[in-house]
Structure 1
C-alpha cells in the first residue's frame, strides 16, 4: 500500500467519525493556535521597540550622574569640551534639566505642565524627532544660539497651544516662575492619546542654560550624548566612562556615581526580557500540544482495537509489518496535520484580533506617536507550528502503529 492509499484511508477513517476526530484534534488546535498567537504578539512588541529606537536614534547615549558626597559633579561645559575633544566618536551632548515651575498665560495657570531644559542636540532635523520621540509641527526647535545666549524662548506641546493660545501659539508669550518666554515652536499632537493636563502633549522645552539661570543650580544629573553612528556608540560610551572615572577618581572600575547606557543596550535588555517571557509562554502553550499528542495516541489505540479483524485480513493477504505500521502512522500524522491547519487558522484570526485590541492599549499606555503594533503571524511561526503538530502526530502515533504491526494474523482474524 503506497502513501496515497494510506492517506485516503486516513481521511475516510476521520470522516467516518467526525466528532471523535474533532475532539482528538482539539489539543493540537489549541496548542498550535496558542503558539502562533504568542509568537505574533512577541513579534509585534519587538517591532514596537525597533520603531521606537528608529525614532530616537540608535546612536543615543544616556548618562545619569550622582553627587560624589562632596557635592562635586561635572559641569555642562566640561562635557561639551569632552565632545569637542572626541569628535571621532561623539557628535553632541544635551543636558536634560527638569524645571518644577508654574506655567502662566494671562490669568491661567498650568500647574501640571512638564518643563525641560535641553540643548539643540535634543532635536534631529533629519528625522523631525526629538530624543523623547516627539515631532515638531510648527516653527523651530531650540538652537545653539538660544542655549549660548540663554534666550527666553520655548517649544510647547499641542495641549498648551490649544488651551492657552486657541491653536495659534507661535510668537506669543507665556511665563514660567516669572520669566517671560516666547513660543518659537509647537510639537505635534500625539494622535493616540487624549490631550489632558500633565499628558505627553502638555510639556515645554527650553534652553537648559535658561532653566539653570531660573533655578540658580549649576549641577545637572542627566546628560544625553549622541555618537557618530550606532556602530561607534560603544566606543563613545567608553570615552564618557573614562572621563567620569577620572573625575570621580573611580579607577577601580566601580561606577558608584554614574550610570551610562546606550540605546542599543536598552533595546537588547528589553528584547532579552521579552524573549524570556515569550519562551516561557510558548513552553506553557506546548503543554497543549503534548496533551493533543496523548489524545492522538489514545484514539489510535482505540482505532487499532476496533480494526483488529481488518488488520488480520490484510496480513493474511500478504501485508507486511511496515505496511500496517505506515498506514497507522500516516493516519496519526494526517489527524495532527489537519488539527495543525485548523490551529493555524484559529491562531491567525485570534492574533489579528488581539493585535488590534492590545495594540491600541499598548500604544496609548506607552504614550508614543507614530508607533504601530503589528501582530501579523510570520511565515516562520506558521511553518514551525505546522511542523511541530505533524511531528507530534507521527511521534505519538508510532506506538499504536507498532502495536498494530505486531498483531498475530490468526489471533487478529479470531478477534470479535
Structure 2
C-alpha cells in the first residue's frame, strides 16, 4: 500500500487527466457537501423546536375548567365545573402518572404593585412550589415559593426582573416589602426568563392569595408534570386518566371537552420529535442518494480508465503482476479521489453550518434573536465520522468493479487491444 512507485503512478495518471479527475471529484464533493447542509439544517430546525419547548418542562400539563356541554346522569348542560383544594390533594396523592402538582387561583381585577413612590400593574400567578419545575422558572436572586409559605400562609412573593427594575431601580429588592393591592408582601426572590416572556410576572403562595383575596378553597386551574413516557399514545393515556378521575369527582362526561380542558405538552413534544426523526431519515436518504450519484460517476470514470490502460495492464500481467496488485492499484486511485474530494465537501459543508451558527449566536447575544426558529445548525462529530467512513467505503466499492474487470484481463487479449 505504501509502495512509492505505485503512488507515483497514481499521481501521474491524475495529472494526465486533470479535468476528468476534477469533474469526478466535484460530483463526490457536492454529494457529501449537500449531505452536511441537509443534516445541519435538520438539526437547526430540531434544536429550534426544542428551544421553544424549553420554556416549560416537556412533560408539563395544564388543566382548567369550564361549563358542561353534555348531559350526564340526569344533570343538564351548562353546569359550571369548579376545582378546589381537595382536588389538589386528590391529584397529588391519588392519580397515577403525575409527578408535581401546582394549583392556581386567579386574583380578581387588576393587580397593582407599589413600593415607595413607584407603582405599576403586573401579572400575578398564585402557585405551589411545584410550578418552578413545571414552567422552568429561573431565579436571579433569592428563592422561590416553598412549602412553608403555603402551610403558614406567608405573605411571600417572587417578582420578575422587570418588576424589580420598575419598583426598586438599582436597590436590592430581597427582604423588602411591596404592596400588592395595598397588602404588604415580602420579596423573597427575583425571577428571570431568558426569553423575556415572564419578567413582568410575580409569584405568590396560592394559600395566601385564597385567604387574603377571599378565594375560599377555590382553584381555577392546575399545572402539573407527568411521568416521562416514550410515546404519544402513553402520554395521551395519562391525559385520559386524569380527565376520567376528575370527571368522576365532579360528575361530568369524560368526553365533554368544554367541562374540563387539558393540554399535555409531552404529547405534542413526542409527536414533534417523531416527525423530526422521519425528517432526519429522509435527509439521510436524499444525501446518500446524491452521494451515490457521485460514486457512480467515479465508477464510470474508473471503467473508462481501465479501458484506456488495457494494454498497460496486459504488459503488467505478462511481466508477472498478480491480479491482487492490479486490483490494489485501481482501488487506491478510486479511494484517493473519493476521499480527498469528499473531505473537501465535508469541510465546506460543516464550515458553512458553523458560520451560520456563529451568525445566529451573535444575533441572539445582541438581543435580535427573538423569534428565530433555527438554532445551532451544526453537524455533530459522530455524524462527520460516519460520513467519512461512508466515503471510504463508497470509494472502495466504486473502484472494485473496474478493478475486478482489469484483474480478469488476459495478457494476450490485452496486448492485442488497440
Structure-2 separation of matches of 1:163 and 1:94: 28
Greater Cα offset, 383-392 or 178-187: 178-187
Structure-2 separation of matches of 1:331 and 1:148: 78
CA 1:217 to 1:41, structure 2 compared with 1: closer, same or farther past 3 Å?
A: farther
Q: Which residue among 64, 78, 85 is the counterpart of 1:77?
A: 85
236 and 268 in structure 1: CA distance in 2 versus 1, 3 angstrom threshold? closer
Q: Secondary structure at the match of 1:120?
A: coil
Instruction: Give 1:82 shift.
Output: 0.7
Unmatched segments (≥5 aa) in structure 2: 70-77
Q: CA separation in 1, counterparts of 2:51 and 2:401?
A: 49
Superposition RMSD on alpha carbons, in Å?
4.6
- Listed one character per residue, the Cα deviations across residues 73-93 of structure 1 (whole Å, up to 9, x for unaligned) are 351313222145439875642
Q: Following superposition of structure 1 onto structure 2, how do residues 16-415 of structure 1 map, counting pairs within 5 Å? A: 17=17, 20-36=20-36, 38-39=38-39, 61-63=61-63, 65-69=65-69, 70-83=78-91, 85-86=93-94, 92-96=100-104, 101=110, 103=112, 105=114, 113-123=122-132, 130-144=133-147, 146-147=149-150, 153-168=156-171, 169-170=173-174, 171-175=176-180, 178=181, 180=183, 182=185, 184-190=187-193, 199-208=197-206, 222-226=221-225, 240-246=242-248, 247=250, 249-250=252-253, 257-259=260-262, 261=264, 263=266, 265=267, 267-319=269-321, 323-359=325-361, 364-365=369-370, 375=378, 377-379=380-382, 381-405=383-407, 407=409, 409-410=411-412, 412-415=414-417
The more displaced of 276-285 and 145-154 is 145-154
Quote the offset at 1:291 in angstroms: 2.8
Q: Deviations along 1:183-230, whole A, 9 cap, x unmatched? A: 51443445x66x6xxx44232223445667769798756422356x75
203-212 vs 329-338, which deviates more? Answer: 203-212
In structure 2, what is the Cα distance between the partners aligned to 1:47 and 1:36? Answer: 16
| Secondary structure, aligned partner of 1:95 | strand
What is the TM-score when the length of structure 1 is the normalising length? 0.72
* 8 Å CA contact retained: 1:300, 1:397: yes
Separation in structure 2 between the aligned mates of residue 14 and residue 64 of structure 1, nearest angstrom: 72
Q: Distance in 2 between matches of 1:254 and 1:3?
A: 76
Superposed displacement of residue 94, structure 1 = 0.9
**Equivalent residue of 2:130, what SS?**
helix
Deviations 1:219-249 (A, max 9, x none): 756422356x758x97976763441342455
What TM-score, normalized by structure 2, do the two folds share?
A: 0.71
Distance in 1, Cα, partners of 2:345 & 2:379? 15
C-alpha contact 2:59 2:264 (8 A) present in aligned 1? no
Greater mean deviation of Cα atoms: 356-365 or 181-190: 356-365
CA contact (8 A) 1:39 1:377 kept: no
Cα 1:161/1:319, change in 2 over 3 Å: same
- In the superposition, relative to structure 1, how do residues 397 and 201 fare at CA in structure 2: closer, same or farther (>3 Å)? same
Paired with 1:384 and 1:77, the residues of 2 have a C-alpha distance of: 55
CA contact (8 A) 1:37 1:377 kept: no
CA distance in 2, matches of 1:59, 1:375: 27
CA distance 1:327–1:154, shift in 2 (3 Å): same
Deviations 1:309-332 (A, max 9, x none): 322322433446565444323322
Distance 1:215 1:71 in 2: 23
Paired residue secondary structure (1:343): helix
Residues 280 and 92 of structure 1: CA distance in aligned 2, closer, same or farther (over 3 Å): closer
Q: For 1:268 and 1:8, how far apart are their aligned partners in 2?
A: 56
Q: Please report how far the alpha carbon of residue 28 of structure 1 lies from its aligned counterpart in structure 2 after TM superposition.
A: 2.5
SS at match of 2:224: strand
Contact kept, 8 Å, 2:57 with 2:135, in 1: the verdict is no
Given that 1:6 and 1:331 are in contact with CA atoms closer than 8 Å, whether structure 2 keeps it comes out as no
1:240-297 per-residue CA deviation (whole Å, 9 max, x = no partner) reads 344134245547x88784436375x555334323222222233332233123213312
Contact kept? 1:156, 1:187, Cα under 8 Å: yes
Give the distance between the partners of 1:341 and 1:225, measured in 2 at CA.
49
CA distance in 1, matches of 2:331, 2:163: 69
Uncovered stretches (5+) of structure 1, i.e. residues with no partner: 124-129
Q: Separation in 1 of the partners of 2:119 and 2:286?
A: 53
Q: Distance in 1 between matches of 2:52 and 2:188?
A: 23
**Bigger mean CA offset, 135-144 vs 213-222:** 213-222
How many Å separate the matches in 2 of 1:214 and 1:31? Answer: 66
Distance 1:84 1:159, change over 3 A: closer
Q: 1:61 & 1:409 partners in 2: Cα distance?
A: 77
